[in-house]
Amino acid sequence: MLKMFSRKILAFCAALVPLFAQAAVIANSEAEFSGVQGQDGWYYGYYELGRPGMQLMSYYQENGQDSAWFVNNQYFKAFLTAWGGHPQMASKPNVGGRTGSEYWTTRRWVSDYEGEVTISTQIYNMYDFGSMVGYITVNNQSTLAVLDARAEGVSGLWLDYTLTLAKGDFIDFIISPNGSDDWDYTTFKAVISTTGSAVPEPSSASLALLGLVAVAAPAVRRRAKNGRRA
């Protein structure tokens, strides 16, 4: 009887492993790119130098694999696509779709997850002529990484960063010009995965506890009954 009880406990604990420690992809900037702000937690915008906070892009152009977000429907130099984007310098107003402002194009993901995650990112200059810099920032307060897109070349290497998130935390993936915005089309992708260190929902933890009680209770009652007979 004790062996059977132990087997049941072991089987139940094994079933709990996916609940408390299951690594999985929770965000993918390329696969989840869309024309809807906020879908899957992704927002598409820009930082304009001299203006606080990220501004949302207002114009989306559907064009298959080349679909893109733009600042608006008049200026097309600064944009974001599924796999990257292009910043804008202020040095050439009204030339090539520029507005006269400097824009750092920004892809933001807002977390609905609580726990430790790994951010895997890939960045490189599409043409190998530009000089842009990529930033990964958290909650607009700390800089997780500063990446020289040209120095990364076209090697395709993915870089990993680990941090702990709370629900509502946001991560910005920013492409900035660095002296010029000529040839600054940049691949900048991100995949965010759990590491198995999530904090379980209270409801999930309660269900797990009830399940353990349900498994253990019959054995406890049987042992108590046998004890009285003895």
Which tens digits make up the pLDDT trace of 23-78? 799 999 999 999 999 999 999 999 998 899 999 999 999 999 899 999 988 777 89
Q: Is the pLDDT of residue 147 over 70?
A: yes
Domain positions in the chain are 2-17+202-229, 23-194
pTM across the whole model = 0.73
pLDDT band at 154 (very low <50, low <70, confident <90, very high): low
Residue 30: predicted pLDDT: 97
What mean pLDDT is reported for the chain?
Answer: 78
164 closest CA partner among 115, 120, 119, 197: 115
* Mean per-residue pLDDT, 193-213: 55
Encode pLDDT of 92-103 as tens digits.
655 555 567 889
| Chosen CATH of 23-194 out of 3.20.20, 3.40.50, 2.40.160, 2.60.120 | 2.60.120
Q: Is the pLDDT of residue 10 over 50?
A: no
Pairing relation of β-strands 170-176 and 142-148? unpaired
* Mean per-residue pLDDT, 188-202: 76
Q: Do the Cβ atoms of 101 and 181 come closer than 8 Å?
A: no
* Top-confidence residue, 184 or 111: 111
Encode pLDDT of 79-91 as tens digits.
999 999 999 887 6
Q: Is the pLDDT of residue 203 over 50?
A: no
Contacts 24+ apart (CB under 8 A), 226-230: none
Residue 65: predicted pLDDT: 86
Residue 88: predicted pLDDT: 86
| Cα 218 to Cα 227: distance, rounded to the nearest angstrom | 14
Encode pLDDT of 162-181 as tens digits.
999 999 999 999 999 876 66
3-state SS of 50-86 is: CCCCCEECCEEECCHHHCEEECCCCCCCCEECCCEEE
Q: Residue written as tokens 């009285």?
A: 228
Q: Which residues are 191's β-sheet partners?
A: 28, 120
